[in-house]
Amino acid sequence: MEGKTSSSALPCAAGERHDTSVRDMAVSDDGSKLYVCALPSCVLELTTVDSKRNRLIPTLGVYPVSMALSLSEIYIAYDHYIRTVDLGRASPVINVCPDTKISCIVGARNPKSVYSIVICLWDGRIFAISSGSTTALPKFQPLKCVPILCAAFAPNERHLILGKRDGTVTMIDTKTWTEVATFVCNSPVTSVAVSPKSQLIIAGDALGKVYLLKYYRR
């Protein structure tokens, strides 16, 4: 395997700090831009073709928990609310749920998608924001309260894949918001990804095991 490395400083809005660390990352569909969400409070836009065009995007909150890209916006999640960041201007707060913290968010990239972002909570509930809206609406209420640790859309965004603390990988139908499939891993599922061109789900657990799961469209 061949590759190359690149580095860029991660300054914060208040100036350079030595305790800055990467919290989350996302890449644009065409691969030209990489967004790095860093603690305690900044997002760095890296242009893969020209490092001179890199820019620091200001944020108004501190210690974000997750970041996601939709078709047109960058979403940054904090404990109980999210913000959108567009063209360097931070938006007003979008409150989600005051009694439960956000665990992760997933942005929709399909132009036909009804939703722009899906928000997963530590108690297993799922909220969603419709395209063009700034209101987070509840969509999924689990029968059992299990923290969601990670999430990813299937390529057509008809299904949402969840990794949970109890070691399960769950597939959610985003039209009916019901569970349609479940797989059990050996420990908490800390990462999930879906192949864009095949029906393959990759899940990683807290013990370092990687699972390759095949799903079939009905």
Sequence ranges of the domains in the chain: 19-142, 146-218
For residue 163, report the phi and psi dihedrals to the nearest 5 degrees.
Answer: -110, 130
pLDDT digit string, tens, across residues 120-157: 999 999 999 887 788 889 999 888 889 999 999 988 88
pLDDT digit string, tens, across residues 29-58: 777 888 888 777 777 787 876 767 777 776
21 pLDDT exceeds 80?
no
Write the CA distances from 163 to 16, 38, 92, 130, 149, integer angstroms. Answer: 35, 23, 30, 23, 6
CATH fold, domain 146-218, is Thrombin, subunit H (2.40.10)
CATH fold, domain 19-142, is Methylamine Dehydrogenase; Chain H (2.130.10)
Topology alike, domains 19-142 and 146-218: no
Exposed e or buried b per residue across 127-137, where buried means at least 16 C-beta atoms within 10 angstroms of its C-beta: bbbeeeeeebe
Q: What is this structure's pTM? A: 0.79
Torsion angle of C-alpha atoms 152, 154, 158, 163, degrees rounded to 10: -40
Predicted pLDDT of residue 3: 43
Question: Please, which residues have CB within 8 angstroms of residue 141's CB and are 6 or more apart in sequence?
Answer: 125
Residue 88, phi-psi category: left (phi > 0), alpha (psi -120 to 50), beta (remainder): left
Q: Are strands 55-57 and 66-69 parallel, antiparallel or unpaired?
A: unpaired
